Amino acid sequence: MPYLRGFLRATFMAAYETARLLLSMKGIVHGFFMRQGGVSLGPYASLNCSLKVGDEQVDVEENRRRCLQAMGLSDARLFVPSLVHGDGVLVLKDDSSQSGVMECDGDAVITSSRKLALGITYADCLPILLSSRDGHWIAAVHAGWRGVAKNIVRKTVSQMRALCYPSEIVAAIGPSISLKGFAVSGEVREYFCGAWPQFVGEKEKNVCVDLTGIAGQQLLDAGVMHAEKVGGYTDINPERYFSHRRSIGQAGRHIAIISRAASFFS
């Protein structure tokens, strides 16, 4: 009885953080989940939502179910792309295949479907949720430093804008690694010092990068005039967040979810 076992292990409800910008959007439900309220054990305790980190599949599936339930999306089909730290953007329709999406290289998903929920798993990388102002199109983006360097943020906005024009786009950037936590060296240091010097700082002789600041600037450069930072920083708050860097690679992953959810209650 793995679900009963998981229920007995859980001490909190699956909790998530929200953006005021997206809360103001009619018919849009969203959330950036923290690490509490799931059934996973060990370094994945407790609300790990990734199938790729070594956790038990049955526990991950139960954790995802709890997240959807917490948002009132129990009837939605959840789509989580493959997340390969690239710049692939997938546009999903009502009849899109969940397994097919996982098999395609992609770090961003866009849809206008009322039947789908879009999900992105992350620990230190940037989770970004977007919606057109009219609520007809939504997107979820996973942007680590490689994705930022490949301009996945601007590419997603560009593709989304082509679909939802002339509606304005709003965005929320969720919990991610802090400036002090993202120390870089070698080619990564050279890239950011050259491409984004205004977002590079020094901490105890280390060169550090403000990925959140860069993503915010990329959103602005893409014409997204309204963006909001949500939550804290993953590397400095172990009680609330997983962190790949803090845990030296063995850690769970949160999930950020967005959906055109009004149809489930109509």
Q: Is the pLDDT of residue 4 over 80?
A: no
| Residue appearing with tokens 């992609």 | 106
The answer, yes or no, to whether residue 8 has pLDDT greater than 60, is no
Buried b (16+ CB within 10 A) or exposed e, 136-169: ebbbbbbbbbebbbbbbbbbbbebbbeebeebeb
pLDDT value at 52 more than 70: yes
Classify residue 257: in a domain, yes or no: yes
147 three-class SS: helix
- Pick the closest to residue 234 from 173, 171, 181, 172 (CA basis): 181
User: What is d(CA 230, CA 20) in angstroms, rounded to the nearest whole number?
Assistant: 9
For residue 187, being part of any structural domain is answered with: no
Concatenated DSSP letters of 24-69? TSTTEEEEEE-S-S----GGGTTT---SSSS--HHHHHHHHHHHHH
3-state SS, residue 236: helix
Q: What is the pLDDT of residue 3?
A: 46
Range of the domain at 13: 2-175+223-265
Tell me how far apart the alpha carbons of residues 158 and 153 are, in angstroms, rounded to a whole number: 9
Q: Report if residue 129 sits inside a domain.
A: yes
The span from the CA of 125 to the CA of 153, in Å, is 13
pLDDT given for residue 204 in this prediction: 74
Confidence band of 249 (pLDDT split at 50, 70, 90):
confident
Predicted confidence at residue 46, as pLDDT, reads 96
**Residue 10, pLDDT above cutoff 60:** no
Any domain includes 106: yes
Q: What pLDDT does 1 receive?
A: 36
Residue 261 has pLDDT above 90, yes or no: no
Q: What is the dihedral of CA 195, 196, 200, 206, to 10 degrees?
A: -20
Quick one: average pLDDT of 199-204?
Answer: 86
The pLDDT value given to residue 71: 95
Residue 38 has pLDDT above 80, yes or no: yes
**CATH number, residue 254:** 3.60.140.10
Mean pLDDT score of the chain: 92
Residue 41 lies in a domain: yes
Task: Identify whether 108 is part of a domain.
Answer: yes
Q: What's the total number of domains in the chain?
A: 1
pLDDT-wise least confident of 71-75, 116-120, 200-204: 200-204
Provide the pLDDT for residue 6: 41
Residue 185 belongs to a domain: no
Q: How confident is the model at residue 66 (pLDDT cuts 50, 70, 90)?
A: very high
pLDDT attached to residue 205: 78
Residue 244 Cα distances to 53, 187, 238, angstroms: 10, 20, 11
Q: Is the separation of the CB atoms in 21 and 254 below 8 Å?
A: no
What are the backbone dihedrals phi and psi of residue 137, each rounded to the nearest 5 degrees, phi first?
Answer: -130, 140
pLDDT digits over 98-114, tens only? 988 988 899 999 999 99
Note the pLDDT tens digit of each residue in 114-172. Answer: 999 999 999 999 999 999 999 999 999 999 999 999 999 999 999 999 999 999 999 99
Considering the domain boundaries, does residue 212 fall inside one?
Answer: no
Closest CA to 91 of 78, 108, 115, 114: 108
